[in-house]
Structure 1
Amino acid sequence: MDTSLQVRLASDRDVAYIVSLIDRVQKQLTASGSLQIIGPLPHALVAEFVAMEAAFVFESPAGLLGSVFVQPATPESCPNLISWQLTACDLHPWFLQTLALEPEQQGRGLGFHFLSGVRALVAQRDPQANIILDCWAGNTKLRTFYTRAGFTLHGEFIEKDHWLAVFVQSAASR
């Protein structure tokens, strides 16, 4: 990974940035015709992720570039694990959600650096962790990105009125 790009735990001073970023990314998604919904997110919810050490930011020397939430998952905290058949006790699931990059920085390969840094931090916390994420099954661009980033499609699952594509990757993989 480019050493000028860093992934770190988000702090209280990053909460307003994350809320604003999610709003900008959601506006871009909506404008492009995507049905993917990642926000808006309330300030209090983002602050809660930060307090739980489940929020990460991606930064360069010039400033912040993105954010993501990643935390250990249980069937209680993430009930979809059951319907996704991802409850094996040796799985050590960590759920990744709300991955966002600054709209003007997208398409430059930075997402791969971001995910690599997140994977390394998760592996430090839990070397046996498997990172699980989902996206709207119709978002072929995002599905291609996750596959190119080393995630394996676990399956497609119905959620309310739409389909989700669920991906898995070992945090220890390189």
Structure 2
Amino acid sequence: MCEIRLAEKDDIGIIVELLNKVTLNLHQKSINQWKYPWHFEEINIEIKNRNVYVITIDKLIVGTFSLKDMDINEGFHISNSNNLYFYRIAVLPEYQGKNIGIKAINYALEISRNLKRTLYLDCWAGNIKLKNFYSKAGFNYCGDFKEEDYMISVFKYL
């Protein structure tokens, strides 16, 4: 059974390992979604801030995502700050295609609805498969924006 919970300090090693595995898998497919390797310090701060969630099946962590208040300066050209940012969504390659991503999205949507806030997410603009997935999940495409030396596609769910 798939369950979602806030990440705990003891989960950090597994989360970093999972993110590294997913990132390398993306890079092998020429999808430059994230930089490799992930750093414990960054994830540890996010866990302390209660932004990181884990997705488990029979207590095994198979995915992770993060959710936080979205700063108006996130770079998305958004007019107000009553938003949530849903990010760093990762599912182990061997568990992809099993509706785990949809479960994570529904979990984040429930939180945003309860808080009466708009949910935003983004991805590398070149990841056509992921962009289609977000559109099919009900997110509205907002546009492509420059992020460092690449473009991101931004989506929102009202």
Please give the TM-score of this superposition, normalised by the length of structure 1: 0.83
Q: Aligned residue for 1:7?
A: 4
CA distance in 2, matches of 1:39, 1:120: 31
Is 1:164–2:156 an aligned residue pair?
no
Shift of 1:134: 1.1
Q: Is the deviation greater in 52-61 or in 115-124?
A: 115-124
Q: Aligned residue for 1:86?
A: 78
* Correspondence list, 1:118-137, <5 A: 118-124=108-114, 127-137=115-125
Superposition RMSD in Å: 1.7
Task: Classify 1:64/1:135 alpha carbon distance in 2 versus 1 (closer, same or farther; 3 Å).
Answer: same
CA distance in 2, matches of 1:129, 1:116: 14
Gaps of 5+ in 1: none
Shift of 1:9: 0.7
Task: Classify 1:123/1:57 alpha carbon distance in 2 versus 1 (closer, same or farther; 3 Å).
Answer: farther
Is 1:146–2:146 an aligned residue pair?
no
SS at match of 2:155: strand
CA distance in 1, matches of 2:91, 2:97: 10
On the 8 A contact 1:6/1:117 being kept in 2, the answer is no
Which runs of at least 4 in structure 1 moved beyond 4 Å after TM superposition?
Answer: none
On the 8 A contact 1:7/1:118 being kept in 2, the answer is no
Q: How many residues align?
A: 158
Q: Aligned residue for 1:26?
A: 23
Is 1:110–2:100 an aligned residue pair?
yes
Gaps of 5+ in 2: none
Kindly provide the CA deviation profile for residues 134-172 of structure 1, in whole angstroms up to 9, marking residues without a partner as x.
1111110010111111111011112233221100113xx
Shift of 1:55: 0.4
On the 8 A contact 1:69/1:99 being kept in 2, the answer is yes
CA distance in 2, matches of 1:123, 1:54: 17
Please give the TM-score of this superposition, normalised by the length of structure 2: 0.91
